[in-house]
Amino acid sequence: MELKKITENTYYIPGPTNLGLFVEDKKVILIDSGNDESTGRKIFRLLEEKGWELAKIINTHSNADHIGGNAYLQKKTGCAILSTALESIFIKEPSLEPFLLWGASPFKALRNKFLQAQPSIVTDIIEEEGIIKDTPLQAFPLEGHFIQMIGVKTPDEVYFIADSLFSPEIISKYGLTVKSDIEKTLNTYTFLGNLSAKLFVPSHAHPAEDITGLIEVNRNQVEQDNQKILNYCRKPVSRERILQLLVNDYQIPLSSVQFVLTHITVSAHLSYLYDRQLIKPIFDEGKMLWTNNDKIGL
**Three state DSSP letters for 31-96:** ECCCCCHHHHHHHHHHHHHHCCEEEEEECCCCCHHHHCCHHHHHHHHCCEEEEEHHHHHHHHCCCH
Contact (CB, 8 A) for 260 and 114 = no
Q: Say what the pTM is.
A: 0.95
pLDDT at residue 293, as a whole number: 81
CATH code for the part of the protein at 225-296? 1.10.10.10
Q: Where are the domains of the chain?
A: 4-163, 225-296
The answer to whether the Cα torsion of 82, 85, 91, 93 is positive or negative is: positive
pLDDT at residue 86, as a whole number: 98
Q: For 178-234, how does the pLDDT look when each residue is reduced to its tens digit (9 = 90+)?
A: 999 999 999 999 999 999 999 999 999 999 999 999 999 999 999 999 999 999 999
Q: For 225-272, how does the pLDDT look when each residue is reduced to its tens digit (9 = 90+)?
A: 999 999 999 999 999 999 999 999 999 999 999 999 999 999 999 999
Q: For 45-58, how does the pLDDT look when each residue is reduced to its tens digit (9 = 90+)?
A: 999 999 999 999 99
pLDDT at residue 51, as a whole number: 97
Q: Once rounded to an integer, what is the mean pLDDT over residues 277-281?
A: 96
pLDDT confidence bin for 296, thresholds 50/70/90? very low
**Is 4-163 a domain of CATH 3.60.15.10?**
yes
pLDDT for residue 297 is more than 60: no
Contact (CB, 8 A) for 158 and 198 = yes
pLDDT at residue 298, as a whole number: 38
DSSP the chain: ---EE-SSSEEEE-SSS-EEEEEETTEEEEE---SSHHHHHHHHHHHHHHT-EEEEEE-S---HHHHTTHHHHHHHH--EEEEEHHHHHHHH-TTHHHHHHHTSSPPGGGSSTTT--------EEE-SSEEPTTSS-EEEE-TTSSSS-EEEE-TTSEEE-TTSSB-HHHHHHHSS---S-HHHHHHHHHHHHT---SEEE-TBS--BS--HHHHHHHHHHHHHHHHHHHHHTTS-EEHHHHHHHHHHHHT----HHHHHHHHHHHHHHHHHHHHTTSEEEEEETTEEEEEE-GGGT-
Residue 155: phi and psi, rounded to 5, are -65, -20
pLDDT at residue 49, as a whole number: 96
